[in-house]
Amino acid sequence: MKLSNVLIIGVTTATLTGCTSKKEYASYELYPVRQGSLTEMEYAPELTRFHLWSPTADEVKVLLFDDGENGHAYETINMILGEDGTWNAEKEGDLKGKFYTFNVKLNEKWLGDTPGINAHAVGVNGKRAAIINMADTDPEGWSEDVRPALASPADVILYEMHHRDFSISPTSGITNKGKFLALTEEGTKSPEGWSTGIDHLKELGITHVHLLPSYDYASVDESKLEENKYNWGYDPQNYNVPDGSYSTDPFRPEVRIREFKQMVLALHKAGIRVVLDVVYNHTFNTDDSNFERTVPGYFYRQRPDGSWGNASGCGNETASNRPMMRKYMVESVKYWINEYHLDGFRFDLMGIHDITTMNEIRKAASEIDPTIFIYGEGWAAEAPQLPNDSLAMKANIYRMPGIAAFSDEIRDGLRGPFSDNKQGAFLAGLPDNEESIKFGLVGGIQHPQVDNEGVNYSKAPWAAQPTQLISYISCHDDMCMVDRLNTNIPGISPIEVAKLDKLAQTAVFTSQGVPFIYAGEEVMRDKKGVHNSFQSPDSINAIDWSRKALHADVFAYYKGLMQLRRNHPAFRLGDADAVRKHLEFLSVEGSNVIAFRLKDHAGGDAWKEIVVVLNARTEMAKVEVPEGKYIVVCRDGVINEQGLGTLYGPELQVPARSALILYQK
C-alpha cells in the first residue's frame, strides 16, 4: 500500500529526495504525527499487535525470533500502512517469551533490523525487542510504592552516582556489586565496620540519588560482563528499557526491569527519591541507529550542506524541535515516571534541546506529579543547528519555569576552569572570583549586591528562581575534588586538601541553589588524577569505602552540612524575592573571603540571624558583623548544631582555609 507523491521543495540531501514509490514531504515538519501512544508492541495471550511509525517506508516487516540474540527469524509478517504514517500488524497466539525486530524498505533497500524506537523490553545487547507482560515485572509491594515526601524543590539534595563506582569495590561489603540490586541491600559494611550502600545514603542525608545513564546503552557487551568493560553510559541505544549490564541476568528481558523496580522501591522505602540521567540529545551511532533505520533523516538535525549536525560532539544531534521527536521525548519521560516511578530527570547537554520541548516535558511531568525534579546541562558540546534564543541553554533558564541548570559560575569560581585542571581559583587563593561565587550563593537570580560584570561566565542573571540553579563543585566528567586540589596546588598536604574540600562544600550547601555532590566525595574519593574516566577501569573509578573510616571527619562534615540545610529554612528560601530580602553580603577587605548574613528571621528560621564566612586565605581573616552575641555551629572543619562556643561582634576572626557559621538567638 503506497501513498501518492507530493512535490519536494527545498529539501536537504538527508531527506531522501528523488523517491517515487512513497509519499514525500517538503520538510520534516510536514511529516504526519502519530496520534495517541507511540507504543510499538501490545501483548495479550491471545493476540499481539505491532505498530511502527515510518511514513516514508515502501514496506515494513516484523520478524519473530525464539532467541534474543542468536538464530534466524522463524516467521516474517508483512505490516500494513495505516493512519499517520504508522504501519500495523498482528499475530494470533501467545508470543510471550519471543523476540521481534522491524525492517523498513526504502528505495528498494532494506535498512536492517531494529527493535524499533520505543522498545520497552529487549534481549541481550538490545538488538531485538522482547515480548513480555510488563505486569509480570512488578516486584512485591510495587503497587503500594509511594514517593518520599518533598515539600519544595528547595529541599532537594542531589547525589550523583554510577552503579559500578558505588558498589564494585570489595570494601563495599555489597553482594550484588555493580548491579541495580546493590541499592536494595541493607546492613552492608566496610571492612572497618562503617555503613555502606543504601544505609550510607540514609546516614548521609541526601534526598535524591542521581543515577548516571541506566537505560540500554551500547558500549558495554552485556554477554561478556566478565570483561568488566567500563562506561558511564552516555551512548544511548534503547531509551526506554534498563541496561542489562546492571542486571543479574541480561539474557532474560524481565530481569533487568524487575531489578530496576526493586531498586527504586528500596530507595523510596529509605526516604530517597530517584533521578535518571537521560541522554536524548544524541545516539551511539547514526546510520545504524534505531531512529535512522526507522525514518531516515527525521530524528536528527542536519547542517545546511546536508551533513549531520554534531552539537553533542558524538557525531549527531537529535531534532527535538521536530514534532515526532518532541512527542517521543515527552512520552519517554512519562513512561519512566509511570512504569518505573522515577522522581526526576537530569538532561545531558540540555542546551541541544529546544525550549518548547523542555517546557512540554515539564508540563507533562507536573500533570503526573509537580514535585518531579528536572534539571540539566545548560550548554552543548558544539553549536546546535538551531538559534541560541530557541535552545534550552543556561542563559534561557528563566524562560523554563520548574527546570534547573548546573552553575559552572560557582563551580569554576571555587576551583578553576573545566578546561584547565592546573588552573586554580578561590580555593587556591587566587583573587577576583568572589562575584562568581556570590552568583551561585544567591541561586543565579538578580541580586543588588552581585556585580555581574565580575562574574566569570554570565554577565546577567539567568535564573528566575534560586531553585533553577544547581550548585556544585564536581561531577562524574571532571576531576573529583581531591585530584583537583592536588593538581591546583602542587605539594598541598592531605590535611589542607581536607580543609579546602570542606570549605568548598560549605559554599555549595549554603547556596540558595540546589546542592549537588558527586558520589564518594564525602569520603574523599580520588581517581588517581584522571579527568575523564568514562572508560577507566574499576581501579580508577571504584569508591574505596575504607576511606569512610580514614576520613571520618570529612564524612561528618558533609553530613552536618546537610543537616544544617535541612533544619534551617534560611539556607533554602526557595524564592527570589525572599533571597533578595533576607540574604545580605557583608563588606570584606581584600580578596578570597566572602561573608553574608541571613537576616530578619529568614524563612521563618528559629535562628534570628545567621552569618556565614568563607575564608580561602592561608591566614586568619577578620570580618565585621553586626554587634551582638553569636553561637558558633561551624568552625575549624567541625559542625555541631548544639554549639561550639560563643563569639561577639562587631569583629570576627575566621581561621585560614575554613568556613565559619554562627547565629544569634
Q: What percent of the chain has pLDDT over 70?
A: 97
Residue 20 has a pLDDT of 32
* pLDDT above 50: residue 17: no
Residue 26 has a pLDDT of 85
> How would you label 384-401 residue by residue, b for 16+ Cβ within 10 Å and e otherwise?
bbbeeeebbbbbbbbebe
Whole-angstrom distance between the N-terminal and C-terminal Cα of the chain? 79
Domain that holds residue 642: 584-664
Residue 604 has a pLDDT of 73
d(CA 406, CA 404): 7
432-462: pLDDT as tens digits: 999 999 999 999 999 999 999 999 999 999 9
* pLDDT above 50: residue 173: yes
367 is catalytic: no
* pLDDT above 90: residue 226: no
**pTM here?**
0.95
Contact present, 569 and 409 (Cβ < 8 Å): no
Residue 453's CB: how many other CB atoms inside 10 A?
A: 8
Tell me, yes or no, whether 542 lies in a domain: no
* pLDDT above 90: residue 201: yes
Q: What is the DSSP string of 376-414?
A: E-S--SS--SS-GGGB--GGGGGGSTTEEEE-HHHHHHH
Tell me, yes or no, whether 655 lies in a domain: yes
Q: Which pLDDT band, with edges at 50, 70 and 90, does 363 fall under?
A: very high
Catalytic residue, candidates 317, 377, 501, 575 = 377
Q: Which of 81, 112, 137 is the last residue of a domain?
A: 137
Q: Which pLDDT band, with edges at 50, 70 and 90, does 608 fall under?
A: confident
Question: Residue 5 has what DSSP assignment?
Answer: P
Residue 24 has a pLDDT of 78
Q: What are phi and psi of 210, to 5 degrees?
A: -100, 110
> What does each C-alpha distance from 225 to 70, 221, 230, 245 come to in angstroms?
18, 7, 10, 7
Q: Which pLDDT band, with edges at 50, 70 and 90, does 605 fall under?
A: confident
Contact present, 253 and 68 (Cβ < 8 Å): yes
Tell me, yes or no, whether 147 lies in a domain: no
Residue 310 has a pLDDT of 98
Tell me, yes or no, whether 188 lies in a domain: no
Strand partners, 652: 623
The pLDDT of 603-608, averaged and rounded, is: 80
d(CA 445, CA 448): 10
Domain CATH code at residue 630 = 2.60.40.1180
377 is catalytic: yes
Q: What is the DSSP string of 114-152?
A: B--S--SSB-GGGSSEE---GGGGPPTTGGG--PPP-S-
Residue 1 has a pLDDT of 32
Catalytic residue, candidates 113, 185, 343, 348 = 348
d(CA 497, CA 436): 22
The verdict on whether omega for the bond into residue 650 sits within 30 degrees of 0, i.e. cis, is: yes
In three-state secondary structure terms, 633 is strand
The pLDDT of 112-138, averaged and rounded, is: 98
The pLDDT of 88-93, averaged and rounded, is: 98
Tell me, yes or no, whether 545 lies in a domain: no
Tell me, yes or no, whether 105 lies in a domain: yes
Residue 632 has a pLDDT of 98
Residue 18 has a pLDDT of 33
Q: What are phi and psi of 69, to 5 degrees?
A: -140, -45
Q: What is the DSSP string of 170-195?
A: GGG--SSTTSGGGGG--S-B-TTS-B
Q: What is the DSSP string of 208-273?
A: EEEE---EEESSS-GGGGGG-------SEEEEEEE-GGGSS-TTSHHHHHHHHHHHHHHHHHTT-E
The pLDDT of 342-349, averaged and rounded, is: 98
d(CA 281, CA 382): 12
d(CA 645, CA 650): 16
The pLDDT of 111-138, averaged and rounded, is: 98
Cell numbers linked to 254: 524481565
Lowest-confidence pick of 19-28, 465-474, 608-617:
19-28
Q: Which of 94, 122, 137 is the last residue of a domain?
A: 137
Q: Which pLDDT band, with edges at 50, 70 and 90, does 496 fall under?
A: very high
Residue 320 has a pLDDT of 98
Overall number of domains in the chain: 2
Question: Residue 281 has what DSSP assignment?
Answer: T
Domain CATH code at residue 70 = 2.60.40.10
* pLDDT above 70: residue 267: yes
Q: Which of 137, 161, 188 is the last residue of a domain?
A: 137
Residue 601 has a pLDDT of 76
* pLDDT above 50: residue 245: yes
The per-residue pLDDT of the chain, averaged, comes to 95
Tell me, yes or no, whether 115 lies in a domain: yes
Residue 23 has a pLDDT of 67
549-596: pLDDT as tens digits: 999 999 999 999 999 999 999 999 999 999 999 999 999 999 999 999
